[in-house]
Amino acid sequence: MMYGAKRVASPLPGIPSLYTFRFRRHTSIAFRGFGVFVGDESTGGIFIHRYLFEPRWMPSCRFEPIAWLPKELTRTRRPRGVDDWKLAYNLIFQLIDWFVEYEQWVRETFGRRLRTGQLVRFRLLKNAILNWDMVVGWSSIKAELQGESK
């Protein structure tokens, strides 16, 4: 919330809230418990499920109506053709740029100890790589995807 999220509480018990961000001029990002949506006003949007890295194309640049459960997502489809995939990669790159900027803000605001403590607490990383740099990690993912998108 300190970074500018708008929170929409779920009307369903046990379902996490929706958090949305405005990124740059025309991009919206929405975090759901089951995935992330990124949309651009001029092209549409993609939804990436939390456990499947498979972008699903959505005709709207907004995550509306709000889907509280995966089955409630409005029409999604796999990107088709070169143009769809270029748009999808562009949205993914914008999402990664958001993560890079967010992680830089976290580091500047709270220091590295906050993220390291969270990673240990959630047991995402073992002690051997406690000093993993989230900014470098997201940047590396983007570089690898940029190689694939050519």
pLDDT in tens, 2-60: 899 999 999 999 999 999 998 888 899 999 888 999 998 888 899 998 888 888 888 77
Q: Taking residues 119-140, what's their average pLDDT?
A: 64
Q: Give CA torsion, residues 107, 108, 113, 117, to 10 deg.
A: -50
In a domain, 1, yes or no: no
Asked, for residue 122, whether it belongs to a domain, the answer is yes
User: Distance between the two ends of the chain, CA-based, in angstroms?
Assistant: 36
| Within a domain: 81 | yes
Residue 133, in any domain of the structure: yes
Q: Residue 145's domain spans which residues? A: 6-149
Q: How many domains does the chain have?
A: 1
Q: Flag whether 102 is in a domain.
A: yes
In a domain, 70, yes or no: yes
